[in-house]
Every structure is written in C-alpha cells, then in structure tokens.
Amino acid sequence: MNTHTSILIIYTGGTIGMIRDLKSGSLKPFDFGDLYTHFPVLRNFDFHLDFHSLDPLLDSSNMTPPFYVKLAEVIHERYDRYDGFVVLHGSDTMAYTASALSFMLENLSKPVILTGSQLPIGVVRSDGRENFINAIEIAAACDGDCPVVPEVAICFDNMLYRGNRTTKFNAENFSAFLSVNFPPLAEIGVHIKYRRDLILPPATEPLKVHRELDNHIAILKLFPGITPEAVRAILNTNGIRALILETFGAGNAPTFPWFLQMLREAINKGIILVNVTQCKGGTVEMGRYETSAGLQAIGVIGGADITTESAVAKLMYLLGDGYPNQEVTRLLQTSLRGEMTV
C-alpha cells in the first residue's frame, strides 16, 4: 500500500456507527464525515480514505434485495476510482449481504471487506474500532499492484472470512461469526497472516454486476414432529420458485410417505428444492442414509456444505438471472464464488 492507494468506506447502518449523545445519553448514528476527528489514528495510514453514507441508514434486519442492489451500484459506480471498499454494516444479517454481494459482483478484482461491531464505536470498550481499522488495512493490502484479498470478505474479531462461508452464531461475544466449512482467509495478530493459498485470484475480466434478484424463495427448517399442515403451507406459498430444506445431520429427513409425496408434488410443479443441513459444519451427503436417499430419488438437490445464508443469496441470484430450472440445478451444485466444496 502507498499514498496512491484509495479506499472507499461505505456506511450502511448498524451498531458500529453509533455514538453516545452526551446530552441525552442515548446512542445515535455517528457522523463519519468527521472521520479523522474521531479517529486521528487513521492519519497514520499513508493512503487516502473517502466516505460514503447510504440513505437511509438501516438496521441490517431491515435490509432487502433492493438494498443489495443499491450497495452493489455504489461499488460499481466508483469501482475504477478506488483500490478497495470497506462496508460498515450491522452484524445481524451481514452474512446474507456478504453472500449476496459475492454473487452479484462477478469478476471481482478488488477487496470488498464488510465489518461491523457488537458494541457501538462510540462506546469505550467497543470492538468497532479494531474491526474498522483491520478492515481498512486489509482492503488496502496489496502485493505490488495486486490486491491481497480480491474477494467479498467479513472482517470481525481479528479474523477474515470469505463472506459467503460465514454465519453469525453469537449475539453476545465479540467473536460473532463462524466459517466452519472453510478456513479463515487471514488471522490478525501482531501480523496479518494471509492464507494466500485460499484467497481467490483477482478476475481478469471486467466487473459484471448482477442486479436482478428473485426473492420468491422460502426456507423450511425441519424438526421432529413437523406436521403435514406446516409443510403444505410453506410449499403452497404464493409464487414460490425454490425452497431451502434445512435438514438434519448429513442431509436427512423423515421418510414418511406424506412428506415425500408433498415434496414430489412441489418438484413436479417446478419448485426447486435444495437440501442444506441444519448443522453449522459438515456437508449434505445425499444417499448416505436411507433418510436422504428418498429425497435424492425425487429430485431434491444436495447443497453440499453451503450455508443457508449463501443458499438464499445464490438462489436469488440464479432465479433473478433467469436461468431455466435445469441450469439452476446444475449451478446449485457448482461452486461459483468459492461458496461450497464440491
């Protein structure tokens, strides 16, 4: 990195951007326009930082696909002007946004690093300051002219993860994210140790932004005792095009005839069914047990070790791009952005 390196910081909302109002004592959004006053330490970086705030700022629970499009467009419009992007984002749905961006930004050759915090940056013990500074340093890191992390990644609690491999697993600890099925891209200590062998290479083709996202999807989390009424209700959701079936263990589900019959009818109607495990780690292995062989036989697609967050984003992207079902089925079993192990 050097004085020519420029990083764009994009603030979307969330806890990280909060500071305590001295008069009222309540938390309010922080004025990032005043970045250097609040973070004089940033002057020690010898590269240029710009700031862009999205309007309106959102708690990440209120984010929807149009927001992902807006964010992707902010990056796209400024892509040539910056060497890297830091996205400040609420942690609650950060794994969904990171997954969505990874599919929407095809041929990425620059870092897009999402970060946030569990405590507002304006609180003395906040984890936000460290996360923010680490994210900036990672977005600016390069080997000569080549960025070290040309990926959509999440930087949190001294770890850097591939965004579409993450899940928020802890609402309390500073260590809020997991990437069980893929090792961290970097560990941050005295040095930032990058796993260059795991990081995707920068694309050589121009960036292509996919703006069409189709959210006519649903998730059915199985539990022992689930009723035919509950399964029928979700499969009859108006306009539904794909269903993520959150199964047990290595992709297992009841073998009850009514259950398989309902799924079969849904598949016959053209609904795509993807099998994703409820476990945080490990993979779906269709046919390993009798309890998944039936799913495989009727045409449920195995999601391997993809996270639910990533499966949601991938389906929105594939359905939005207008691929026929047969191609969606093939691409669901293909790793497009390092989101699954095949």
Residue nearest to ligand ASP (CB): 90
Q: Per rule CB under 6 A, is residue 28 in the interface with ligand ASP? A: no
How far, in whole angstroms, is CA 227 from its chain's centroid? 31
**What does the per-residue mask of binding to ligand ASP show for 33-62, with x meaning CB under 6 A?**
--------------------------xxx-
Name the segment binding ligand ASP (CB under 6 A); options: 13-21, 32-40, 264-272, 325-333. Answer: 13-21
What values do phi and psi take at 250, rounded to 5? -85, 30
Question: Cα angle vertex 59, ends 41, 210, to 5°?
Answer: 90
Tokens 């009850």 sit on residue: 256
CB of 94 to ligand ASP, least distance (A): 7
Which residues are 302's β-sheet partners?
275
Which residues 130-169 are close enough to bind ligand ASP by CB under 6 A? none
Name the segment binding ligand ASP (CB under 6 A); options: 11-19, 246-254, 285-293, 307-315. Answer: 11-19
CA nearest 147: which of 48, 7, 45?
Answer: 7
Q: Per rule CB under 6 A, is residue 84 in the interface with ligand ASP? A: no
CB of 90 to ligand ASP, least distance (A): 2
Tokens 């992390």 sit on residue: 149
Return the number of the residue (168 or 241) whose C-beta is nearest ligand ASP.
168
HSE on the CB side for 205, CA within 13 Å? 5
Q: Has 3 been annotated as catalytic?
A: no
Tokens 């960036």 sit on residue: 207
Q: How far is residue 9's CA from residue 86's CA, in Å, rounded to a whole number?
A: 5
Which residues contact residue 204 at a Cβ distance below 8 angstroms, ignoring those fewer than 6 apart?
107, 109
5, 7, 15, 99: residue in contact with ligand ASP (rule CB under 6 A): 15
Binding-residue total with ligand ASP (CB under 6 A): 10
CB of 215 to ligand ASP, least distance (A): 19
Six-digit token string for 27: 């938390």
Tokens 């594939």 sit on residue: 318
Return the number of the residue (89 or 337) whose C-beta is nearest ligand ASP.
89
**What does the per-residue mask of binding to ligand ASP show for 98-127, with x meaning CB under 6 A?**
------------------x-----------
What H or E segment, with its residue span, contains residue 49? strand 48-53
Q: Which of 15, 115, 277, 307 is catalytic?
A: 15
Name the segment binding ligand ASP (CB under 6 A); options: 64-72, 88-96, 146-154, 262-270. Answer: 88-96
Q: Per rule CB under 6 A, is residue 91 in the interface with ligand ASP? A: yes
What DSSP character marks residue 252? B
Return the number of the residue (91 or 307) whose C-beta is nearest ligand ASP.
91
CA nearest 276: which of 298, 245, 255?
Answer: 245
Residue 94's alpha-carbon distances to 89, 162, 204, 231, 329, in angstroms, are: 6, 12, 27, 29, 26
Q: Active-site residues: which are they?
A: 15
Question: Given the rule CB under 6 A, which residues bind ligand ASP?
Answer: 13-15, 59-61, 90-92, 116
